Amino acid sequence: MDFMKAYELWSTDPFFDEGTRNELIAIKDDTKEIEDRFYRDLEFGTAGLRGVLGAGTNRMNVYTVAKASEGLAKYILSEGEEAIKRGVVISYDSRHFSPEFAQITAQVLAANGIPSRLSDELRPVPVLSYSVRYFKAFAGVMITASHNPSKYNGYKVYGEDGGQVPPEAADAVLSNIEAIEDIRAIRMMDFEEAKAKGLVTSFGPEIDEAFTNMLTKLVVDQEAINKQADMSIVYTPLHGSGNKPVRRILEAVGFKNIHIVKEQELPDGAFPTVSLPNPENPEALSMAIELAKKTDASLVFGTDPDSDRIGAAAKVVENGEVKYKCFSGNQMGLMLLDYILDAKKNLGTLPDKSFAVTTIVSSKLVKSICDYYGVELQETLTGFKFIGERIKLDDEFGDKHFQFGFEESYGYLSGVDVRDKDAVVAAMLICNMAAASFEKGETLADRLDHLYEKYGYGVEQTISCTLEGKEGIEKIGSCMVELRKELSECKNLEEAKSLLGGATVKAVRDYKESKRYVFTDSGVEVEEITLPKSNVLLYELGGNKGIDWACARPSGTEPKLKIYMGVYDSDKAAAEKSFETIKGQVEGYVKSKLG
């Protein structure tokens, strides 16, 4: 069906609610807007849906949620009676229409005879992941758009291990969705009827208690907490779902002096106090930092709407002036990894065959830390589902022991009872690490400096190029095609300098083609890449420590092309100087391909 025919159906058929029809009638003269809303169905990726709220096939609304739920239901039905009996756990965050989308999901599942457990209030991603495993459910659904702007919402699907649904299952759900010829044929059981028949039940305090008890066992150094129990801490939930679980675990392990940013405490899908509810951006912590100055807080942190990401800042004093240093996702990940491994080694609790996991676009200093402690490092593609998969294969079903995982986009995980990034456990660990540092008379900023002195300095940055709408998606796709075209034309090391505006490119990993191209003076050597295929180009640049790099990758959850860079040196000033040169080359080159 072309986009105009789809528009006419949605704007005239009485099946669609009056609000939907009125919204569409209001844009009847805007062909470009109509096309953007109807030129495709909202894409169901490896973790589910994410899109702008509104009427249309390419928008998040009750009808696209129902369609995704029908596809999930058909997949569960195909897996047999045991899968059906185990059912689905559903949770949601603070975004607009999140409770409604969660309820619709339950109603569609009920119409297919599949029971679901629906959270009795908003609860974050890590609690949903934990709940799938706790209830031994076959699947989970989390209604969230994570850290996206307020106009977005999303629908994430989880497998029975509590991790984001694996690619093969996602493909099966997608196939079922694509087989739905008429959205009007999707059945939804009346919600009250579904509850009366036991096909929808609720869950609440039981999970909160179990989740908190599980997290208390992941404390690294309880003695440090006991000694620093009065440490002043400021936390902001950024109007999201982290408020209760984060405060619950901090109080449970013994922190007594926690200050909440009142203006950002309660759930609000409009996120009225921030331009973007993303703790990756230092501006999102501005109100928390102002409160920290008033309360003389040593530590500040904030979680995003579904509480899977966390950003933090620490008090520093420079020339007699109190300031708060914000840490990047890589910096915090490195500090937490080093802290956990060091503490366990000193306590004699670091087991043989331990491993840590990070992603191909995260800091390359991770390997130095893992090598120092004799811990195996595993690298995965971007996306925490791949980290969860490594835990399942090597810890749950293997003989290795997972210690920590992180990705540069402010996602961290410790323990094996949650299989997605977890800002709740990260909050506890960051506070525990800060307490341990204070016991030594240090701040977290001091800890980071010591880490760099020990393992080498790293300057890393991610640049996001946002291009929304159909035209933006096409530009991002064309950019990646152009980058690959120029890669294919390079025949030796000298010619490879053209790939990034003059930077020395030693090799390029094309994860879409599963090839690593190594450039020499006389030609190109080709090696196989064993990771799954992904639309990613990673450029190996060498540098003084031999691990400098840059990467171009379309985001899987946002209309963005992401440019990643990392430069490393034993000298801080040299690393910073080299980074500025490479940044100019890489950013200018990639952006030139976006038009």
- Output the pLDDT for position 496: 93
* Closest-CA residue to 105 (of 95, 90, 120): 90
- Output the pLDDT for position 355: 98
207 contacts: CB under 8 Å, gap ≥ 6 = 123, 127, 130, 131, 134
- Output the pLDDT for position 399: 97
* Closest-CA residue to 24 (of 8, 36, 42, 40): 8
Q: CA 239: distance to chain centroid?
A: 18
Distances 541 to 504, 536, 567 between C-alpha atoms, Å: 6, 16, 9
Angle (deg, nearest 10), helices 205-216 and 243-253? 40
The distance in angstroms from the start CA to the end CA of the chain is 31
Domains annotated on the chain, with CATH:
40-203 (3.40.120.10), 207-455 (3.40.120.10), 458-592 (3.30.310)
User: In 79-157, which ranges are continuous DSSP H helix?
Assistant: 81-86, 98-111, 125-134
Whether the predicted model's global pTM rises above the 0.85 cut: yes
How far apart CA 189 and CA 113 sit, in angstroms, is 10
* SS3 assignment, position 447: helix
Per-residue pLDDT of the chain (595 residues), as tens digits, is 699 999 999 999 999 999 999 999 999 999 999 999 999 999 887 668 999 999 999 999 999 999 999 999 999 999 999 999 999 999 999 999 999 999 999 999 999 999 999 999 999 999 999 999 999 999 999 999 999 999 999 999 999 999 999 888 999 999 999 999 999 999 999 999 999 999 999 999 999 999 999 999 999 999 999 999 999 999 999 999 999 999 999 999 999 999 999 999 999 999 999 999 999 999 999 999 999 999 999 999 999 999 999 999 999 988 889 999 999 999 999 999 999 999 999 999 999 999 999 999 999 999 999 999 999 999 999 989 999 999 999 999 999 999 999 999 999 999 999 999 999 999 999 999 999 999 999 999 999 999 999 999 999 999 999 998 888 989 999 999 999 999 999 999 999 988 998 889 999 999 999 999 999 999 999 999 999 999 999 999 999 899 999 999 998 777 899 999 999 999 999 999 999 999 999 999 999 998 7
Angle (deg, nearest 10), helices 243-253 and 423-439? 40
Amino acid letter for position 205: P
- Output the pLDDT for position 1: 67
How far apart CA 22 and CA 182 sit, in angstroms, is 21
Strand partners, 474: none
What are the φ and ψ backbone dihedral angles of 461, each rounded to 5 degrees?
A: -155, 150
Q: What is the DSSP string of 46-63?
A: SSEEEEEBSSSTTSBSHH
How far apart CA 320 and CA 161 sit, in angstroms, is 51
- Output the pLDDT for position 557: 73
106 contacts: CB under 8 Å, gap ≥ 6 = 90, 116, 118, 191, 194, 199, 200
The DSSP letter of residue 402 is E
- Output the pLDDT for position 127: 98
CA within 13 Å, CB half, 146: 23
What beta strand segments (E) does 343-499 contain? Answer: 354-359, 376-380, 401-407, 411-413, 457-466
Q: Please check whether residue 454 is in contact with residue 157, taking contact to mean a CB–CB distance below 8 angstroms.
A: no
How far apart CA 257 and CA 320 sit, in angstroms, is 25
Q: What is the DSSP string of 190-220?
A: -HHHHHHTTSEEEE-HHHHHHHHHHHHTT-S
The DSSP letter of residue 587 is H
362 contacts: CB under 8 Å, gap ≥ 6 = 329, 330, 333, 406, 407, 408
Which residues carry out catalysis?
146
* Closest-CA residue to 540 (of 364, 330, 359): 364
Strand partners, 119: 203
* SS3 assignment, position 154: strand
Q: What angle do CA 66, 242, 562 make, to 5 degrees?
A: 70
Q: CA 218: distance to chain centroid?
A: 21
Q: Please check whether residue 421 is in contact with residue 384, taking contact to mean a CB–CB distance below 8 angstroms.
A: yes
CA dihedral 194, 200, 202, 206 (to 10 degrees): 150
How far apart CA 200 and CA 190 sit, in angstroms, is 11
CA within 13 Å, CB half, 433: 27
Q: Please check whether residue 530 is in contact with residue 434, taking contact to mean a CB–CB distance below 8 angstroms.
A: no
How far apart CA 509 and CA 518 sit, in angstroms, is 9
Q: Please check whether residue 405 is in contact with residue 419, taking contact to mean a CB–CB distance below 8 angstroms.
A: no
423 contacts: CB under 8 Å, gap ≥ 6 = 124, 126, 242, 246, 303, 304, 307, 308, 309, 310, 412
The DSSP letter of residue 164 is B
